[in-house]
């Protein structure tokens, strides 16, 4: 499933440059994740980089955008044009 940034976000700017899919951007009040671009870093890294760098732990799974491993892999392939090895 995609990730979401909650209102605990302190706008520290560390998550946006870590996202390999450019799914994170500044919103009106806090950073936001575009679920159509978020693959939880599948295909790029072993775990979501935004979660690793977030100092306030405000990036949980988005229960409203549930996706299987296969769906996340397919999204990665669609976004990058590359197959997962």
Q: What beta strand segments (E) does the chain contain?
A: 24-26, 31-33
- Cβ-proximal residues to 5 (8 Å cutoff; 6+ apart), any chain: 15, 24, 30, 31, 32, 33, 58, 59
Residue 18 CA to residue 22 CA, distance in Å, equals 8
What is the separation, in whole angstroms, between the first and last Cα of the chain? 21
CATH numbers and ranges of domains, the chain? 16-80 (3.30.70.20)
Q: Tens place of pLDDT for every residue, the chain, 85 residues?
A: 789 999 999 999 999 999 999 999 999 999 999 999 999 999 999 999 999 999 999 999 999 999 999 999 999 999 999 998 7
Cβ 76 vs Cβ 69: under 8 Å: no
Model confidence, pTM = 0.92
């Amino acid at each position: 499933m995609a990730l979401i940034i909650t209102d605990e976000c302190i706008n520290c700017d560390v998550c946006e440059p870590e996202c390999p899919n450019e799914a994170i951007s500044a919103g009106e009040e806090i950073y936001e994740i575009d679920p159509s671009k978020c693959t939880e870093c599948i295909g790029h890294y072993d775990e979501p980089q935004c979660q690793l760098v977030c100092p306030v732990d405000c990036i949980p799974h988005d229960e409203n955008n549930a996706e299987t491993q296969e769906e996340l892999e397919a999204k990665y392939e669609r976004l990058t044009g590359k197959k997962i090895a």
